[in-house]
Amino acid sequence: MPTETTTPTETTTLTSTDPRTGARVPTDLTATTAEQADVVVRAADAAFAAASSHDRLWRAGLLDALADALDAHRDELVAAADRETGLGTTRLEGEVGRSSFQFRLFAEAVREGGYLEATIDRGGPTPLGPAPEIRRMLVPVGTVAVFGSSNFPFAFSVAGGDTASALAGGNAVVLKAHSSHLETSARSYAALAEAAAAYGAPDGLIGIVYGTEAGRVLVAHPLIQAVGFTGSLNGGRALMDVIDQRPRPIPFYGELSSLNPLVITPGAAAVRGEAIADGLYGSFTLGSGQFCTKPGLAFVPTGADGDAVVARIAAKAGEAGASVLLNGRIATSFDEIRDRLIATGSVEVLAQGVADAGAGFTAAPTVLSTTADTLTADVAEEAFGPLLVIVRYDDDAQVVRALDVVPDSLTATVHSEASETDAVAALVREFAPRVGRIVFDGYPTGLRVSWAQHHGGPWPATNSQHSSVGVSAVRRFLRPLAYQDAPEVLLPPELRDDHTDIPRRIDGRLQLG
Amino acid sequence: MPTETTTPTETTTLTSTDPRTGARVPTDLTATTAEQADVVVRAADAAFAAASSHDRLWRAGLLDALADALDAHRDELVAAADRETGLGTTRLEGEVGRSSFQFRLFAEAVREGGYLEATIDRGGPTPLGPAPEIRRMLVPVGTVAVFGSSNFPFAFSVAGGDTASALAGGNAVVLKAHSSHLETSARSYAALAEAAAAYGAPDGLIGIVYGTEAGRVLVAHPLIQAVGFTGSLNGGRALMDVIDQRPRPIPFYGELSSLNPLVITPGAAAVRGEAIADGLYGSFTLGSGQFCTKPGLAFVPTGADGDAVVARIAAKAGEAGASVLLNGRIATSFDEIRDRLIATGSVEVLAQGVADAGAGFTAAPTVLSTTADTLTADVAEEAFGPLLVIVRYDDDAQVVRALDVVPDSLTATVHSEASETDAVAALVREFAPRVGRIVFDGYPTGLRVSWAQHHGGPWPATNSQHSSVGVSAVRRFLRPLAYQDAPEVLLPPELRDDHTDIPRRIDGRLQLG
């Protein structure tokens, strides 16, 4: 690959932007050339092979060491991220904690071993005649490309869940740093790489590249076996097009776009409308509305109780000032989408804050309103930022009909009272095929990282049946491998007769470890 | 959709061909029009919704009823299939038995419930603060399109594993009958549909379409949520292109092309060369070599022991007559690929039988030979039919180097002696990333249907990390759905506190049912 290119390689120095001021400062980072990216991928692949000689517990120890490194570098990382993202130190400290927690949770899962799905069918007579012995477990796919997101500089970036889950599965990882927080990415990477080296991991097991072109090189590279991506629908589509052109397709796990509808029932509006208005306002403006789980569309009943909810949200939005966005692209896109929604003429503007003057990137909370019967697809669009579309409805049938124009999402939320169970059950039946998580009497933001969590959903939320958050996220970077009549000594330890300390299914019966 | 097309619908009567004679007889089947296919898909989707009110045990009963129906119609089905495939009644009777066994195995798995991956994290304090309760399980994707294969008129067709696993998951199925055995498909479908109706399943839960164009309509249809396909690489690529054009991508589970390399070590050649020669000959000629698991490439050591193995295989092939192939396309393709391999000039022809004269479709066993150091990609190509390429090697390093030009496969096989464990371990390390199943001292054909089985592999064997055979095949047609703080009454039964008879993971600890 290096010898095939004839383009002279220019060194492009990358800059880091402070979104609060728009000030750009040069970094000592340069855009990774195609040749350099190839070297990084090959090193990762070699490291993957070298690390394969280590057992599961070694890997769990590595994950713990990476968690410790994140905690140890917390202040430095938070300072860099605050400068590059404007998200504030409280949020960012929490996010580093969440990231190290993720590594430790995967370490726990790796030690427990159930994720391997170890399954043994002994040989012998069967209803179809004599059969060989089959033993199967999940094994790593190899080297994985991980694209950091803009909105989580830690938990969905270099030190994020894709990295942790890919490493937990026994893979090597090559990261594509997000252009919006290059310094944070470089410092996160340095912390992880240093800890991995100190732990004795093979050089290159975690690699990194910078720049859009290097990202494309990764996705097209024959040694990359899977891609983890959290970002925009357009960005994801562009990478999927690259994958479609590969001679050998690979899985693309994209977490792309989500509107996250929320329904407030008449009962809920009557009993606790004020609290819901406050909670919903907090949720759609959290982190300047820059969450993939942000509730972007809220169905509110017509009538006085619903009016009060809407008025309270609009008032809070009207009083709020502008808050900083992650980068100029998001700020421009937010303005465009907000203006486009308003230009449809089918929404009423209940609150429209004004972005700060000046060179920074900001947006102010915006609340639009329409009715269920007039809701159209051009209003049911994700606006990344603090924007909420309120949809007033008279009865549940209107909500159900309106859902036809709402894109499938990561989540749906229902606020209701116990007396409304039948109606809520009908709503849940509507939402179930359309989302990956249904939230009751809460808010979709503030995603719990745990064993049961599922962060995924039908297209365009994601393009897969897998989760990018929680323990099951590791499944994306594993593949099954079966052994037929293998001599015991040639089996992976987890498939040998004496390895009884992990959950395994033997002759169809699940056994605890 | 029906009103949008302006093409006049012509009725195309489909014909069924006897591969033994080439005789074409009209059927009473017609190519399904786009309008008719749309009606079938919509009916399936409505039936899916209606069937969702039934519980898991109802579905297990349906699978058992379908199994009983296949057994009850065995003789009629076998007669039709023998006429259309030339596979012979013994093989076909076994295949019906395998198909009904598959339905019953999935019924067993559905009753056991572990496939749901039910997971519960109770709410409460966590290291990251208070957290909501999350409950997750796998739910059906909806309506699935299943494309029957040419080479398994039952086990990978209308009554095959894709149908059984999709129904087991709670989905509706629309089948695309393979053109090579239309009568068999229609009769299989009638048996299944009649049994489903008698069991009380909603009309349309299992649908069927005929003709290539109807297949494309299925894959493009907005209500189809996933595709199961067993067939050629070209056929799979064509459908993947259709999917790439969909506004909303869906998973395509293709089982496409596999060369299935087999290695005979010097020790094995010395100790039991004769038995291996017989076994390998039987495996690559089984069913006229029309298995995706056919060993198409065999590494045989140089020297007298290897010579004896090769001579025995070549002699058996030379004595064999022609056997019938499934259809004219396969016969033409077999001749083309065989001639192309020979035309490379890099293989020696050890045996080349001659197809029967006459209008039927036949091929005779063909054995070609080359050396590991001269093996090139244009010789390492799957020929669907009774063709084996023998690759002579001096040492294992040659085998490993030669694997660079061998496409990834469903399986790899190693015949060795216990004294060679170190060398075999090195070979296994080479094969592990390249295949989905490693067979020891046996043959890849004769796939066991069981809990541990994995029938998949890296591209071009398949394009996914899933299996199309065995209990785990159901995973392809399921997706996770999480509930956050849901009232108990709104949860699926399997996620309620009192549903303790299936395996579940609660607060990270796996519990048996």
Q: What is the pLDDT of residues A372-405, one digit of tens each?
A: 999 999 999 999 999 999 999 999 999 999 999 9
pLDDT, averaged across chain A: 95
Averaged over A414-434, what is the pLDDT? Answer: 97
Contacts of residue A137 in chain B, CB cutoff 8 Å? none
Distance CA B190, CA B294 (A): 31
Distance CA B225, CA B140 (A): 10
Confidence band (pLDDT; 50, 70, 90) for A7?
very low
Q: Is residue A250 within 8 Å of A456, Cβ to Cβ?
A: no
pLDDT digits (tens, 9 = 90+) for A319-372: 999 999 999 999 999 999 999 999 999 999 999 988 888 889 999 999 999 999
For residues B336, B338, B342, B343, the Cα torsion angle rounded to the nearest 10 degrees is 10
User: Which residue of A lies nearest to B427 if distances are taken between CA atoms?
Assistant: A490
pLDDT, averaged across chain B: 95
Report CB contact under 8 Å: A479, B436: yes
Q: Is residue A141 within 8 Å of A84, Cβ to Cβ?
A: no
SS3 B125: strand
Distance CA B296, CA B273 (A): 18
Cβ neighbours of residue A35 closer than 8 Å, sequence gap 6 or more:
A1, A2, A5, A9
Task: Give the closest-approach CA distance of B269 to chain A in angstroms.
Answer: 18
Averaged over B41-46, what is the pLDDT? Answer: 98
Does residue A11 register a pLDDT over 80?
no
pLDDT digits (tens, 9 = 90+) for A269-317: 999 999 999 999 999 999 999 999 999 999 999 999 999 999 999 999 9
Q: Say yes or no: B221 contacts chain A, CB-CB below 8 A.
A: no
Averaged over B133-158, what is the pLDDT? Answer: 98
Count CB neighbours of B77 within 10 A. Answer: 27
In the residue annotation, B133 being an active-site residue is answered as: no
Contacts of residue B512 in chain A, CB cutoff 8 Å? 510-512
Q: What predicted TM-score, i.e. pTM, was given to this entire model?
A: 0.96
**DSSP string across B172-209:** EEEEE--GGGHHHHHHHHHHHHHHHHHHTPPTTSEEEE
Strand partners, A208: A175
CB-based burial of residue A2 (10 Å sphere; 0-12 exposed, 13-18 middle, 19+ buried)?
exposed
Strand partners, B479: B139
Distance CA B385, CA B383 (A): 6
Contacts of residue B425 in chain A, CB cutoff 8 Å? 489-490
Report CB contact under 8 Å: A418, B112: no
Task: Give the closest-approach CA distance of B16 to chain A in angstroms.
Answer: 30
pLDDT digits (tens, 9 = 90+) for B62-88: 999 999 999 999 999 999 999 999 999
Confidence band (pLDDT; 50, 70, 90) for A10?
low
* Percentage of residues of chain B with pLDDT beyond 90: 95
**DSSP string across A343-378:** HTSSSEEEEE--PPSSSS-EE--EEEEEEGGG--TT
Count CB neighbours of B9 within 10 A. Answer: 11
A89 to A81, A84, A151, A322, A361: CA distances (angstroms): 8, 12, 14, 18, 18
Averaged over B301-320, what is the pLDDT? Answer: 97
Count CB neighbours of B101 within 10 A. Answer: 20
Structure tokens at B97: 């038995």
Which ipTM value was assigned to this complex?
Answer: 0.96
Find, among A96, A99, A92, the residue nearest to A324 by Cα.
A92
Q: Is residue B435 within 8 Å of B406, Cβ to Cβ?
A: no
In the residue annotation, A292 being an active-site residue is answered as: yes
Q: Say yes or no: B454 contacts chain A, CB-CB below 8 A.
A: yes
Q: Is residue B140 within 8 Å of B48, Cβ to Cβ?
A: yes
Averaged over B322-333, what is the pLDDT? Answer: 96
Residue A359: predicted pLDDT: 85
Residue B325: predicted pLDDT: 97
Distance spanning both ends of chain A, measured CA to CA: 46
b/e string for B45-69 if b means 16 or more Cβ within 10 A?
A: bbbbeebbeeebeebbbbbbbbbbb
Contacts of residue B222 in chain A, CB cutoff 8 Å? none
Residue A442: predicted pLDDT: 98
Count CB neighbours of A34 within 10 A. Answer: 20
Pick the catalytic residue: A84, A183, A255, A494?
A255
Task: Give the closest-approach CA distance of A228 to chain B in angstroms.
Answer: 15
User: Which residue of A lies nearest to B478 if distances are taken between CA atoms?
Assistant: A465
Find, among B398, B383, B177, B168, the residue nearest to B306 by Cα.
B398
Pick the catalytic residue: B84, B183, B292, B381?
B292
Distance CA B444, CA A28 (A): 55
Count CB neighbours of B111 within 10 A. Answer: 17
Q: What one-character DSSP code corresponds to residue B462?
A: B
Residue B10: predicted pLDDT: 58
User: Which residue of B lies nearest to A477 if distances are taken between CA atoms?
Assistant: B465
Distance CA A496, CA A347 (A): 64
Report CB contact under 8 Å: A436, B482: yes
Residue A4: predicted pLDDT: 37
User: Which residue of B lies nearest to A503 if distances are taken between CA atoms?
Assistant: B510
Contacts of residue B456 in chain A, CB cutoff 8 Å? 479-480
Structure tokens at B440: 């020891």
Contacts of residue B459 in chain A, CB cutoff 8 Å? 248-250
Secondary structure of chain B: what % helix, strand, coil (to 5)?
Answer: 45, 20, 35
Averaged over A65-73, what is the pLDDT? Answer: 98
Report CB contact under 8 Å: B436, A482: yes
How many residues does this entry show for chain B?
513
Residue A485: predicted pLDDT: 98
Averaged over A214-230, what is the pLDDT? Answer: 97
User: Which residue of B lies nearest to A430 if distances are taken between CA atoms?
Assistant: B49
Residue A3: predicted pLDDT: 37
Structure tokens at A471: 């323990």
Residue B357: predicted pLDDT: 84
Q: β-strands A24-30, A261-264: how paired?
A: unpaired
HEC-encoded secondary structure of B156-171: CCCCCHHHHHHHHCCC
| Closest in A101, A453, A460 to B482, CB measured | A453
A455 to A177, A403, A458, A478, B305: CA distances (angstroms): 22, 21, 11, 18, 57
**φ, ψ of residue B25 in degrees (nearest 5):** -120, 140
CA angle A391, A394, A396 (to 5 degrees): 85
Residue A1: predicted pLDDT: 32
Find, among A393, A446, A479, the residue nearest to A137 by Cα.
A479
Report CB contact under 8 Å: B490, A424: yes
